Structure 1
Amino acid sequence: MIRDERFYSHSYATPDQRILWEHTLRRTTTLYPIARRDPIFTPLFVAMGLTGTIAGTTITTASIASAIATTALTFGLQMLMVPKPPKPEDGKAPKTQAIPYRAWCVGTNRMAGAYMLWESLGNNLVAIQAIAGHPVSAYKRFWLHDDVVELADLDALGQRKPSGDPYRDNVYIFRRLGSESAAALPYQSIIDRYAAKPASERLWTSQHLGFGQASVAMLARAAKAKDQQSRFPYGVPNLTAEVDGAKCWDFRNPAQSPTDPATWTFTKNSALILAWHLCFSEFGERLDYTKALLPTLDFWKEEADICDEAVPLFGGGTEKRYECNGWDTAENSPKAGLNAILATCDGHLVVRGDGARILTVGKFRESRCVTLTDADIIGHSIQYDVLFEDEINRLVPKFTYPEVDYATADTDYFEDIPAQLNAGRVLSEEAEYTWVQQWRQARRLGKREWLRIQQKVNGSIDVWNSGINAVYSRWVRLATPIRLPRLNGKIIENRRAVVALTKGGFSMDIKAHPDGIDVWDPATDEGKQPPVPPRQSKDNIPTPVINLVQSKANGSSVYIRVDIIDPADESLTPTVRYRLSDDGTGNPGEWVEQEYPDAVPAGGFTKMNTNVVPSNKLLDIQVAFMTSKKTGTWSLVAQVTSTVDSTAPAVAEALSWASPTFSARAANTTASQGRTAYLTFKIGTTAQTFAAATLINKLAAAPGDVRYVQPTPVAAATRRLWVQPENGSGVVGPTAFLDVTFP
């Protein structure tokens, strides 16, 4: 007998029972053996019966069955109906309203906020602007109109240094992260300007603290009459800031606590930002993280790791797969931000009946795919083509481009020319990725959507309760030789699922899953960098546009390769500068500059290699053009990690358990790259992944070294002991494990 028959032989022994089993129950997921059931969903029904508790909360089978699955919307009629965050261009002018809506931001953005104070005091103009209704991570630089003000251009009091033309020392800029102490929060320089006024006329006092509110302030002092026009050629300066937004809990880091925001760090990881928006942001869903995240934390860790995966670039180097940068206001519901975040990672979010959320980002995995059989489906409505008015033969990805002052831009589009000829015209749609700032990421997301558009099969399926696992899954493999023979063996994508009791249980909106959706060839798929209109500085010197920043190892040292678009002007000398993003004090280090008077353009780009830079550090990179007399405006900051060893070390060897000691040997690599520097030991259940297991210790280990740890024993229990190698640059190798049973 096969395994299933052995399992059920005691229950289906008579001929009638065998017929019931063979033709009905065997084709469903209702009564599968425990080992074959979904590890997240089905056990909720089996273990609890009609009622039970999860994370201390009583739930019922009916409440579990009320879950909903949603997918990011980026184009089409449905996209027009959902609330959307403001356009990035809207953030360049401060709001002037009696009671403006509060703003919130994640990732890096250019923002002006809303005026809290705007008043003339003698020959001074005072302006205070609320940037975000929560603490932010950092201010990176400012703009006065379109003139860039670097932090280095400001002295300790916020005053512009005399060399800072055209405003010179007539403008002060102050900033508050919102996380400062009560003594540091007030804008003392502005309070002092009101000191001579009666108490009733002091519009800003030491009581205006702004706890937890990020803000900026400007004090502009009138110049002499003969200098006023040259100092303020465009009138009153319009102050905007480049801001690193909210800090988020990285649940992969044991040093961070969900209850202590002081341990959180700034991130652009889409999965981490979504978790913050769902549970910790006062502008989000305000869910209880113990119910929404902790029951499925292993899944969230997996998705966060995928967002951080390195994707190769055509010119060399890598960038992270999915990053999120954007801002919104309290005028919109949390769903606006939710959809914008999901769009940055091609995300699919499940709301489970017990309150838990499960995120699946855009990367197909068999572990997230379940099977749906004929017996699980009660009805269907499938279209194998689309109506002419719904046809799309061109898709244009749109994103926010920092190189054009954080405005909306397009990448190269995707199109089907034969379909255009057949239709007689171009039927174009725009895919909105407003919270994406990497043009290559927008192309990757656009390609995924384009491949789905080309799959004409779509529709809906009505599912029995026996198919509940499929309702919660993003990808479903159909085993339907009777009901849907044309789709038998095919994979479909669950785009949306709702409870539909009148249809037997659930209704799923589906779309055929394209083969090769994860295939990405930078040489053919990346396209060209979107054009950047020439921007002249105050001295008519153009601002460079960075195309590529790449870390290049040279033995035990490392240098940085920087590619910029050729300005087609031989009189300009490119200059590269770099600094540590964090010098160990939480602040960036000092800039180090290097000129390239002999740089020769080739193929439309100017390529430069720096001198040796600090190893294994996150660096900020900028480029500017110089003439014989002046230096132009510096480009936007690009970041790169100066990785010396990018080769993953080999798997650890000779795993051994001799109670109470677990040991492993670092691979005895003789090559200069891929050498083990550390071994990380963890312990977990046999069902847990390495990421979910508990850290035992991380020990330094050279190639060939044996390291020993003593895990905390669990009496009469079987546990999985893990070890993972890591090289000196933080690149990890494959994991290995040993299952042991404690006495």
Structure 2
Amino acid sequence: MAIFTAIIAFTGFVVGTGTILGLSAGLSAALIGIGKAILWSVASAVFGPKPPKASPQEVQAMLAQATGPRIRGYGEFLLAGTRALWEAQDGKLYQIIATHHGDVSEIVGWYVDGELVTFDVDGEATTGSAVGYLNVQSILSGDGGDYPDVRAALPTIWTEDHKLTGLATYSVIMTAPAIDQMSNKFPRSDQTSVQMAAKLSEVMDPRTMVVGYTDLTGPCVLDYLTHPDGYRIPLPAIDLDSFDQFTNLCDQDVDLKDGGTEKRYRVGGYYTLEDQPKEVTARLLATADAQIYMTPEGKVAILGGEWLEPDVTITPLDILSFEMSDGVDVFTDFNVLKGIFMSPAHRYQQTDAQEMRDDTALLTQPERVDTFGVDMCPAFGQMRRLMKCHWNARHRDWTGTIKTNLVGMKARFPRGQGKHVIRLVIEDLGIDQAFEVLGHSYSVADRTCDITVASIENPYPWDAETEEGDPPPPLADLVMTNAYVDPPTGLTLGQEVVGLGEGLNAVRLTATVDDPERDDLQLTAEYREISDFLWRPMIVGVGDLRAHSETVQDRQTYNVRARWQGYTDYSISEEISVMSNPVAPDTVTALTSSEAGGTITLSWINGGSGYYRTRIYRSDSATFGSAAVWVTLAGLAGTEQTYDDMPGTGTWYYWAVTINPSLIEATPTGPVSETI
């Protein structure tokens, strides 16, 4: 934090008594403290910014909890939120979702259970399975609770006092269809997920000082630094010229391999109000390979994201001593770099970018992988360019420190554009190249400067044709269409036995269909007990032709049907009876009988493997086919057991039969007989 030492010295700042730029002493001290937290985040650059406290899955889910994460975002992202209301009335389910802290600029799409759905101006669904049964409306600014339809339906529950001021919200009204249509209209019933893809916070463009929507990194960083939910730095303490210049850099067009262009540096993502400000700042800056610093005048400024040749050269005439070492370790440094970015083409999920590989090193080295994630980067091409910067930053020819005379003070402050670089000439090592300044301190008494440096090559030249690589294939949005598609054919049912331990099993249903030889069709399947009216969804992987259920009841009969997602016609349902323990258990052994005083006593040893119960069959003839189950007894596998019976006069025949948990019988043991 040497730069802040100099800032204090040059501005005459003393904590408790001094000021910066005429600000109050308390605010000046706070500003210095903020600067210390966010300047030269070398550790963040090396290890990557920390993720937000709430995962993307959490902020994209409709949470049924009292207080979910408070979310604010920049650029375009997919959000759900926390249910502020969840109430059923007269065949309708009313929900209000608090989705964003502060205003939202514009909605770009709605997803219902992951399917892109459109709505008319009144909020009625016009595509998707729930047409006629789903209404979604939104309030993007002001009082987020002001929904007349909800208040009219629930006047004592959702009153005028439920304002949700300062929150962007949306309401979801689900109308219950006929019972036999519920699984068609709302496959997840009352847990149907409705998500909003939107352009989020509007921010001030430092070039025009006008507030509006932009996803350029520069204005988004500026907004967070000054926002009440961010660093709260007053605007007079910001070097707006720096942000003006940096925004122009972000706004430059970069060629794409497949034609067209994209802006150089953009943001798409969110943060929670519980996240540490320095971590949020690091995540935003990572989208542009940028840094925050403080100018000699004590203002907060931004630099990075481009290359300018060094304007300071330090030669042997100025260097008093140096310590240099190789910056590359062929035994530990990574030779494969994986990247992760936020992809709108993949429903705004964290998505793998094509990896970068050092094919030359891999000829003689084992594969060593590093993963670099920029969760707020919204574009594949941008992510690949940032991966190149990260690779460059982690592979340095030289690292070390130099001690100089006071000429080294020239290296203390960055020029305010590009990376903070100087040129070093160290003839003893054959060095004459650019180095990045990573740290700087000085001694007035000794008239020396100590500078931490690492060699750097320009990481920004970019040839899209050879360097961009191939983006991950986009997910096909499976939307409702009027074109007819035959339902799945070849529906074949089966069962999978799931071991529960101690000889007990459970079972789940499986269903497979014929390959339609169309990659755009996604299988869905449902099952129900034969006596039930409620169909339940089965689990199907993306692109799979096989589905499976949760574990089901043993010894029950089920119907299963299948369809293609987005189409209403089902296959002919098939029927299956399930059995979780189909293997017959061990037989009873050592069956004997005795009679005394009209009581017949049976004795035997229970079956071992597969034992659940022992059935005693009784008959007045020696034919097992004429016998009936007289009693079913619990016991322990492989142990001796007895049973007393008083059947009355006559000759009585007995058999003992082991059954397993699915009531499968072993071979009968017997008969033994007694006459009373």
Normalising TM by the smaller chain, what interval? 0.5 to 0.7
Q: Whole-Å Cα distance in 1 between the matches of residues 520 and 85 of structure 2?
A: 45
Q: Whole-Å Cα distance in 2 between the matches of residues 510 and 214 of structure 1?
A: 47
Q: Whole-Å Cα distance in 1 between the matches of residues 483 and 441 of structure 2?
A: 57
| Cα distance, 1:138–1:298 mapped onto 2, change above 3 Å | same
Q: TM-score, normalised by structure 2?
A: 0.62
Please name the residue that 2:138 is paired with: 175
- 8 Å contact kept, 1:278–1:285: yes
Residue 402 of structure 1: how far off its partner (Å): 1.3
Q: Whole-Å Cα distance in 2 between the matches of residues 70 and 84 of structure 1?
A: 20
Please name the residue that 1:344 is paired with: 287
Which SS does the other structure have where 1:337 is aligned?
A: helix
| Cα distance, 1:340–1:505 mapped onto 2, change above 3 Å | farther
Please name the residue that 1:426 is paired with: 367
Q: Whole-Å Cα distance in 1 between the matches of residues 129 and 316 of structure 2?
A: 74
* Aligned residue among 326, 346, 350 for 1:384: 326
Q: TM-score, normalised by structure 1?
A: 0.57
Please name the residue that 1:159 is paired with: 124
Which SS does the other structure have where 2:189 is aligned?
A: coil
Residue 529 of structure 1: how far off its partner (Å): 2.1
- 8 Å contact kept, 2:254–2:263: yes
Q: Could you list the runs of 5+ residues in structure 1 that have no partner in the other structure?
A: 1-37, 257-263, 543-567, 573-628, 631-743
Q: Whole-Å Cα distance in 1 between the matches of residues 462 and 322 of structure 2?
A: 34
2:48 paired with 1:79: yes
Please name the residue that 1:134 is paired with: 102
Please name the residue that 1:208 is paired with: 162
* Aligned residue among 230, 234, 249 for 1:284: 230
- 8 Å contact kept, 1:72–1:348: no
Which SS does the other structure have where 2:364 is aligned?
A: helix
Residue 359 of structure 1: how far off its partner (Å): 0.8
Please name the residue that 1:599 is paired with: none
Residue 481 of structure 1: how far off its partner (Å): 3.6
- 8 Å contact kept, 1:477–1:489: no
Instruction: Return the letter of the residue paired with 2:461.
Output: V
Please name the residue that 2:573 is paired with: none
Q: Whole-Å Cα distance in 2 between the matches of residues 115 and 464 of structure 1?
A: 63
2:81 paired with 1:113: yes
* Aligned residue among 136, 139, 154 for 1:194: 154
CA deviation digits over 1:377-423, x for unaligned, max 9? Answer: 67755321444564111111211111111112222221112322322
- 8 Å contact kept, 1:382–1:460: yes
| Cα distance, 1:353–1:412 mapped onto 2, change above 3 Å | same
Q: Whole-Å Cα distance in 2 between the matches of residues 148 and 460 of structure 1?
A: 56
Residue 503 of structure 1: how far off its partner (Å): 11
Instruction: Return the letter of the residue paired with 1:346.
Output: D
* Aligned residue among 329, 345, 355 for 1:413: 355
- 8 Å contact kept, 1:135–1:214: yes
- 8 Å contact kept, 1:185–1:211: yes
| Cα distance, 1:229–1:498 mapped onto 2, change above 3 Å | farther
Residue 344 of structure 1: how far off its partner (Å): 0.4
* Aligned residue among 444, 449, 454 for 1:511: 454
2:203 paired with 1:248: yes
- 8 Å contact kept, 2:60–2:79: yes
- What does 1:428-443 align with in structure 2 at a 5 Å threshold? 428-443=369-384
Q: Whole-Å Cα distance in 1 between the matches of residues 446 and 231 of structure 2?
A: 30
- 8 Å contact kept, 1:85–1:337: no
CA deviation digits over 1:334-368, x for unaligned, max 9? Answer: 122111111100112113576411211310124x7
| Cα distance, 1:89–1:458 mapped onto 2, change above 3 Å | farther
Q: CA RMSD in A?
A: 4.0
Residue 459 of structure 1: how far off its partner (Å): 3.8
Q: Whole-Å Cα distance in 2 between the matches of residues 449 and 369 of structure 1?
A: 24
Q: Whole-Å Cα distance in 1 between the matches of residues 519 and 333 of structure 2?
A: 49
Instruction: Return the letter of the residue paired with 1:486.
Output: L
Please name the residue that 2:412 is paired with: 471
| Cα distance, 1:99–1:52 mapped onto 2, change above 3 Å | closer
- 8 Å contact kept, 1:89–1:406: no
* Aligned residue among 300, 312, 328 for 2:243: 300
| Cα distance, 1:252–1:134 mapped onto 2, change above 3 Å | same
Instruction: Return the letter of the residue paired with 2:216.
Output: N
Which SS does the other structure have where 1:290 is aligned?
A: helix
Q: Whole-Å Cα distance in 2 between the matches of residues 504 and 438 of structure 1?
A: 48
2:217 paired with 1:274: no
Instruction: Return the letter of the residue paired with 1:120.
Output: A
Please name the residue that 1:30 is paired with: none
CA deviation digits over 1:691-715, x for unaligned, max 9? Answer: xxxxxxxxxxxxxxxxxxxxxxxxx
Residue 536 of structure 1: how far off its partner (Å): 3.5
* Aligned residue among 227, 230, 248 for 2:181: 227
Q: Whole-Å Cα distance in 2 between the matches of residues 310 and 327 of structure 1?
A: 24
| Cα distance, 1:504–1:288 mapped onto 2, change above 3 Å | farther
- 8 Å contact kept, 1:173–1:219: yes
Please name the residue that 2:399 is paired with: 458
Q: Whole-Å Cα distance in 2 between the matches of residues 500 and 402 of structure 1?
A: 51
Q: Whole-Å Cα distance in 2 between the matches of residues 401 and 352 of structure 1?
A: 35
- 8 Å contact kept, 2:20–2:298: no
Instruction: Return the letter of the residue paired with 1:314.
Output: K
Which SS does the other structure have where 1:489 is aligned?
A: strand
2:93 paired with 1:93: no
Which SS does the other structure have where 1:443 is aligned?
A: helix
Please name the residue that 2:496 is paired with: none
Residue 267 of structure 1: how far off its partner (Å): 0.5
Please name the residue that 1:700 is paired with: none
Q: Whole-Å Cα distance in 1 between the matches of residues 240 and 269 of structure 2?
A: 25
Please name the residue that 2:345 is paired with: 403
- 8 Å contact kept, 1:69–1:472: no
Residue 188 of structure 1: how far off its partner (Å): 1.3
Residue 98 of structure 1: how far off its partner (Å): 2.5
Q: Whole-Å Cα distance in 2 between the matches of residues 43 and 333 of structure 1?
A: 25
Residue 456 of structure 1: how far off its partner (Å): 3.3
- 8 Å contact kept, 1:347–1:360: yes
Which SS does the other structure have where 1:249 is aligned?
A: strand
| Cα distance, 1:322–1:229 mapped onto 2, change above 3 Å | same
Greater gyration radius: 2
Q: Whole-Å Cα distance in 1 between the matches of residues 233 and 520 of structure 2?
A: 58
Instruction: Return the letter of the residue paired with 2:333.
Output: E
Residue 520 of structure 1: how far off its partner (Å): 1.0
Which SS does the other structure have where 2:180 is aligned?
A: helix
Residue 269 of structure 1: how far off its partner (Å): 0.7
* Aligned residue among 481, 490, 505 for 2:433: 490
- 8 Å contact kept, 2:476–2:520: no
- What does 1:643-682 align with in structure 2 at a 5 Å threshold? none
- 8 Å contact kept, 1:370–1:475: no
Please name the residue that 2:255 is paired with: 312
- % same residue: 22
CA deviation digits over 1:640-689, x for unaligned, max 9? Answer: xxxxxxxxxxxxxxxxxxxxxxxxxxxxxxxxxxxxxxxxxxxxxxxxxx
Q: Whole-Å Cα distance in 1 between the matches of residues 13 and 300 of structure 2?
A: 22
Q: Whole-Å Cα distance in 2 between the matches of residues 316 and 525 of structure 1?
A: 14
Which SS does the other structure have where 2:130 is aligned?
A: coil
- 8 Å contact kept, 1:72–1:342: no
Q: Could you list the runs of 5+ residues in structure 2 that have no partner in the other structure?
A: 485-516, 522-565, 568-676
* Aligned residue among 26, 39, 44 for 1:69: 39
